[in-house]
Amino acid sequence: MANWSNTDKGMLIVISGPSGVGKGTLCKILLNRVENLFLSISATTRPPRPGEIDGRDYIFLSRELFEEKIKKGEFLEWAKVYNNYYGTPKDIVFQQLRDGKDVVLEIDTQGAAQVKNNYPEGIFIFISPPSIKELKKRIIKRGSDTESSIELRMKSAIDEIKAASEYDYIVLNDDLNQAALNLQSIVLAERCKVSRNTKIVLKLREEFGNDASVN
């Protein structure tokens, strides 16, 4: 890939939307297809699900430790989602951005709103379900929620959908391949912005200057 991350600072890509819409599935495909993208590992107080590994899927913390970190201002954003805390560790993300890496956050809509306040230059992408019926079907299919937890997620989804207009992009996750292609296209198009490629522009100016003769 010719021109990724030519400016010194990386892009912060925020991917959000209701639980069960396919954020995790789409992020996995995105990270496999696009080079030099880094997924931020969130901290959470929820217990690990079977197969989840501390430090790979989440940083699993006790409630006390999480609250201590909130007090110390260690999160770029944090939210209480379905009775558990979730948060994005600030220092690691900012370090990666300073190193010119593009960082993906896969977070809920409350967290995305906080990032927008604290870091408006981020790229905000909302993943939308094709219908409320299909969203419920996907949450059930995932198989990790009790009946009451499914109801809670569906109730929250109504408010989360209302936040869609605050985002820069919307990706309808109906056909998975099309949604993955749209998401990938957004990231690649953002990388091609002139404002993110000032080094190329300056080099071109230097090389071409006012003299267009080529020998």
Chain residues binding ligand ADP by CB under 6 A are 19-25, 138, 141-142, 173, 176, 179
Size of the site for ligand 5GP (CB under 6 A): 15
86 binds, among ligand ADP, ligand 5GP, none (CB under 5 to 8 A by kind): ligand 5GP
Residue of the chain from 61, 102, 106, 171 that contacts ligand 5GP (CB under 6 A)? 106
* SS3 call for 54: strand
Q: How many CB atoms lie within 10 A of CB 60?
A: 17
61-85 per-residue burial string, b: 16 or more CB within 10 A, e: under 16: beeeebeebeeeebbbbbbebeeeb
Question: Smaller CB distance to ligand ADP: residue 145 or 190?
Answer: 145
Q: Which two tokens stand for residue 142?
A: 């995932």
Region near ligand 5GP per CB under 6 A, out of 73-81, 118-126, 165-173, 201-209:
73-81
How many beta carbons lie within 10 A of that of residue 170, not counting itself?
15
**Nearest distance, CB of residue 137 and ligand ADP, angstroms:** 8
Residue 25 and residue 171: Cα distance in Å, rounded? 13
Interface with ligand 5GP by CB under 6 A: which residues? 19, 23, 42, 46, 77, 79, 81, 86-88, 106-108, 110-111
